[in-house]
Structure 1
Amino acid sequence: MASDPRPVLPPLREVIAAYGLQASKALGQNFLLDEQLLDRIAAIPGPLKDQPAFEVGPGPGGLTRAILRAGARLVAVERDDRCLPALAELSDSFPGQLRIISGDAMQVDAQAEAGTGAHIIANLPYNVGTALLVGWLSAPWEPLPWWSSLTLMFQMEVAERIVAKPGGDHYGRLAVLSQWRSEARIAMKVHRSAFTPPPKVMSAVVHITPKPSPKGVELKQLERLTAAAFGQRRKMLRQSLKSVPGALDALGQIGIDSQRRAETVSVEEFVALARLMSERS
């Protein structure tokens, strides 16, 4: 039997102890140490051998290890300087596979750094996770975005908002933005006890794959519509959308009852509204 060519690495707990990497609450850090669980997360996007990948907030490098073991060419962005020596050691163990950027992911041009076609895989810091997701979902679609897939860890409540269907309390602007030109699903639920330190809430890994952008729809129109509609989600559309020029006329043309509330309007109906308004703008 052939031996495993992958490097033998010290347990993550030893790395954390050696470099004094207690999780920082200010940076929204919660570390995952279960290597089998981490390998399962890295497997969600599919085969990563020789594929470009991008990770935000690798911390001590738990998920980073799993992505590298899967064979990806990884760019990782870390703003916590304490973690950089541990990550550099990991880079030495996987020659040519890992490039580390010291900086804030909110300020980094992920496409320029990771390259078109990259799989974004991350246990996102809780305090910037949603903002990063919205940025990636708002990228130009021509007819697809620069990234191939998103495999992201969120608090369970955020994960439910991303995949929500019409009619429930979780359904809102984030669901529409996530689903109008992507497929979003909860790929794995992760118990709070899997993290160090354990967060107060459950978490989940969301997997998002892009699909061709609907023709004739401007993102800014969709954002204006959903901002107004869900900004007053308990009110009827005739009230919540009256501040958006042309929205009430578009409702009538498409045949959407203006007495409905935003939470009952499907992603497809919001897209149809945005398309009609985009054509008129």
Structure 2
Amino acid sequence: MAAARRILPQLTIQDLEKKFVGYYKRNIKASHRHLINPQTADKVAKSFGDLHKYVIIEKDPGPGVLTKALLNAGCTQLVALESNQKFLSVLKELENDSDGRLKAYYSDINKLDLIPLYQGYIPPVYQSGDILGHIKPKSWDDDIVGRVIGVANNTMGHRFTISYLIRLIERSGLHRWGRWQHIAYYTEKTARALYAHVGTPIYGRITVLSNILCNISTLSKDHIDEFFPRGMAIKGNSMELICLETKKHCELSDEALKFLDPILQQVFAARRQPLLNRLESIAPGSYTVLEKLKIPPRKCASNMSPMDFVELAEAFSSWDGRMTIFDSYL
């Protein structure tokens, strides 16, 4: 008979605040936030269902409240990537108590697979092969490999998610192993940008990328006081737990995918200018592509749906002038 799984005790919110308040005051940038309510962490962990099937990578777990909840819910392959050394000792203690189910690394998930320090990048830099080398890659048609879970940085939430989506397009980094679920808590403002409607002020590059590449769902909304540090100036009083699950089949061909983000960067840099002006400025003659698609010459990026951009990227991928388009991007 298998040995019973050890249940790791959680500290109360009050004890967590007493233990870690100094860490935040001295060492954590104001934009960082961690889930500190054990009950909410347990609810989130249990909502994931069977945790034996997947690898889970936790981004910046901090004091390890969600980490413990995931282990207590049955996670058997948990990787904690912590970019702040002050929390690493806490996570290493958890690793020692996890019966081999947790591996904690001093690593910034945004720097996975970047060039080492001697070529210009500052630690913590890690290679995804070092943490996933034991995992057999899956076909894009198979089930997901695992989940990337965390709290998106308050001021860098967009950049973190866009970086993840760009690597998805390239099928580099974690995506070399197959499809993932990207699950993160976002501020209300950032969450709205993921599922914004066409024509709204918040609709933009991240909206289009996430909707074309992923299936999006809201898993939970939790009050801002369940995260630490408290009292930070953000709009809204809750954090939204959003799941971006990589689609098995994207509407775009592999060749067209190469053009998607360069187009989005260019046209959303001046979202209210006509697409014709934005594209002609870097790819003379591209007006023929817009004419073929019957896109009005005055139409701007904020009024283009994700499917409109799918058609635009496909058209550019087969355009005779495609070799000169976005030379600085491709």
The aligned runs of 1:123-272 (5 Å cut-off) are: 123-140=151-168, 145=175, 146-198=178-230, 199-201=232-234, 202=236, 203-211=239-247, 212-213=249-250, 214-245=252-283, 246-272=285-311
**Contact 1:12–1:60 (Cα < 8 Å) also in 2:** no
Of 70, 74, 96, which residue of structure 2 is paired with 1:71?
Answer: 74
- Kindly provide the amino acid, as one letter, of the partner of residue 122 in structure 1: G
Q: Which runs of 4+ in 1 moved over 6 A?
A: none
Letter of the 2:166 counterpart: S
Shift of the alpha carbon at 1:122?
0.7
Give me the whole-angstrom Cα distance separating, in 1, the residues matched to 2:226 and 2:21.
20
Say whether the 8 Å CA contact 1:54–1:74 is kept in structure 2: yes
Residue 54 (structure 2) aligned to one of 44, 51, 70: 51
- Cα distance in structure 1, aligned partners of 2:30 and 2:146: 25
1:88 and 1:16, CA in 2 relative to 1: closer, same or farther beyond 3 A?
A: farther
Structure 2 vs 1, CA of residues 140 and 103 (structure 1 numbering), >3 Å: closer, same or farther?
Answer: closer
Specify whether residues 21 and 32 from structure 1 end up closer, same or farther in structure 2 by C-alpha distance, changes over 3 A only: farther
Match for residue 104 of structure 2? 100
Describe the SS at the equivalent of 1:22: helix
Residues 120-147 of structure 1: per-residue CA shift (max 9 Å, x gap): 0111333443333222212255999434
Deviating more after overlay: 237-246 vs 264-273: 237-246
Q: How far does residue 273 in structure 1 lie from its aligned partner after superposition?
A: 0.5
Task: Please list every run of 5 or more consecutive structure 1 residues that lacks an aligned counterpart in the other structure.
Answer: none
| Counterpart AA for 1:225 | I
**Kindly tell me: are residues 257 and 45 of structure 1, through their superposed partners in 2, closer, same or farther at Cα, counting changes over 3 Å?**
farther
Looking at structure 2, the residues matched to 10 and 190 of structure 1 have their Cα atoms a distance apart, in angstroms, of 19
In 1, the alpha carbon distance for the partners of 2:211 and 2:81 equals 27
- Tell me the TM-score normalised to structure 2 length: 0.75
- Range moving further from structure 2, 105-114 or 269-278: 105-114
Q: How many residues align?
A: 278
Q: Deviations over 1:192-219 (max 9, x none)?
A: 2222222322422111111123225433
Give the structure 2 partner of residue 84 of structure 1. Answer: 88
How far off its partner does 1:154 sit? 1.7
- Contact 1:120 / 1:147 at 8 angstroms: preserved in 2? no
> What TM-score does the superposition give when structure 1 sets the normalisation length?
0.87
For 1:166 and 1:38, locate their aligned partners in 2 and report how far apart those are by CA, in whole Å. 34
Which letter does structure 2 place at the counterpart of 1:191?
Answer: H
Quick one: percent identity of the two aligned structures? 24
2:233 counterpart letter in structure 1: K
| Aligned counterpart, 2:64 | 61
Equivalent-residue separation in structure 1 for 2:6 and 2:17 (angstroms): 21
Q: Distance in 1 between matches of 2:171 and 2:82?
A: 31
Partners of 1:43 and 1:164 in 2: CA distance? 29
**Partner of residue 11, structure 1:** 11
Distance 1:84 1:182, change over 3 A: same
Q: 1:268 to 1:69 in 2, by over 3 A?
A: same
CA offset digits 1:142-197 (Å, max 9, x no partner): 99943420111122211111121212111100111111121123322232222222
Supply the distance in 2 between the matched residues of 1:255 and 1:182 (Cα, whole angstroms): 27
* Counterpart-to-counterpart distance in 2, 1:174 and 1:142: 16
Give the CA RMSD over aligned residues: 2.6
The one-letter amino acid of 1:256's match is: I
Q: Structure 2: which 5+ runs fail to align?
A: 114-126, 138-144, 323-330
State the 1:95 CA deviation. Answer: 1.0
Report deviation, 1:20: 6.2
